[in-house]
A and B are shown apart, each in its own frame.
Chain A
């Protein structure tokens, strides 16, 4: 399908910002939603809003069916073997925390080591720091080279029998780097460590097959894959999910409760305490179907074209430096401009209707690695157009002129 037709499906893209047509380049923070997703939300609330799983009335049955249909779609979307391996969460952050608080507390002890990378989002740093502090474990970090790629030789040297977990980001939200996770996972498994992949940025761009990848856990967010906010998926290998202790207690996650002893529900419900985010989970299916119908290969081809086009244009701007020049990159460009604070660029671009993200992108250690307070980040999605990149370039020239 032509990009223009796809664009038409995203109503928000027709709006004006400060009197100019919106140019939305903050897709790595959250993507916009196609009409089918918005419709799925209103359709649920208009026609079959009900609490799921235990109701015996028609509405409850319809809602339950729709909710579980998303689980099957999500399973297919990431290539999991069984539906029981798909746990619904609030998002990637909750998925990572779930693993830290359950598998982590059960399996990490004094002197054990957890390896993360220098380009992690704070949500893949802090849960492990909390765990390490509690257990007397040690956090090790794979360094990042000047191009924004992981130093794989150092990674291999960090691996040892003490390594219990490797938790790394698939695609960097600040640099766009695609990490060699196949190699990372193989290395970790050789020393008997488990691997969690933070798929927050990768799920929307790359083909994901957790089974082939052989990762132990994989987490992603609905709102970055054209779906609603407040819903995400945690994949875990079935035998791991079965052996882990529960996360939160409450309704839905139990089999039988007495004051003496409670037995827990089977997978995946064991980890889904309380009434879940039914509406957004149901609408997530519409987003995943939308991606499937569009085709990730088609999306990627378009985004790669945008990336190449934008990179060439950016390189021609005096004083502009791209941060993150990995060989494998998704459609995202982080950059700084000599003598100019990123926040000022963000404010002036916003006045031209252009939405970019500025700041440290929740990766402060990575910014420290590059010795910068933050970057300006333009991230592209399937609905973006070359004309919008032209608008950004014009906007940048104007911004630089105003600030100098």
Chain B
């Protein structure tokens, strides 16, 4: 599979955001990203897939295929949804190790740090944590398989 390295996708996002000179443009872009996020089938909208922030709900599912992790997600709040959409663009399709090591500096670079703040009002931080946890879990399964060989 031919997928760009994580840091390169991050770089592209940073470059895109550099073109925006107002907060409105930035958020309109994020909202648009949220709207474009593929629909998550209702069968995945289970409590066990919920990442609960204080205010909005995020559903996140991950699958592991051919050494790569794929994410799907949804949220009831559109800005959060846009932010997940960006995270999925950056992380989905990469190997567990790449995901675990991802620094995700783009969030700071594009001025979205406030969404990472430790307030309970949004779940971006828990979202990233959960994505990395999936990667760790898949890596563990992977190494077990290798051990058995």
Contacts and interface: CB of A to CB of B under 8 A. Distances in A.
B54 interface: yes
Contact of A359 (B27, B31, B54, B76): B54
Contacts of B80: 343
B63 interface: no
A348 B55 contact: no
A343 B27 contact: no
Interface in B94-116: none
B77 interface: yes
A343 B28 contact: no
Interface string B73-99: 000111110000000000000000000
Interface residues of B, number: 16
A341 B76 contact: yes
A351 B25 CA distance: 12
A402 interface: yes
Contact of B27 (A341, A373, A402): A402
A342 B31 contact: no
A50 to B, nearest CB: 35
Contacts of A343: 55-56, 77, 79-80, 121-122
Contacts, number: 45
A344 interface: yes
B43 to A, nearest CB: 22
A402 B28 contact: yes
Contacts of B121: 343, 346, 358-359
B24 interface: yes
Contacts of A359: 54-55, 121
A351 B76 contact: no
Interface string B41-75: 00000000000001111000000000000000000
A347 B23 contact: no
B31 A403 contact: yes
A374 interface: yes
A18 B122 CA distance: 19
Contact of B78 (A18, A351, A373, A403): A403
A50 B100 CA distance: 51
Nearest to B54: A359
A351 to B, nearest CB: 5
Interface in A54-70: none
B56 A402 contact: no
Interface string A321-351: 0000000000000000000011110111001
Given A341-B76, A359-B55, 11 more contacts: A341-B55, A343-B77, A343-B79, A343-B80, A344-B77, A344-B79, A348-B79, A351-B23, A358-B55, A360-B54, A402-B28
10 contacts: A341-B78, A344-B78, A346-B55, A347-B27, A348-B79, A358-B55, A373-B56, A373-B57, A374-B55, A402-B28
Interface of A: 18, 341-344, 346-348, 351, 358-360, 373-374, 398, 402-403
**Nearest 5 interchain pairs by C-beta:** A341-B77, A359-B55, A343-B55, A343-B77, A351-B23
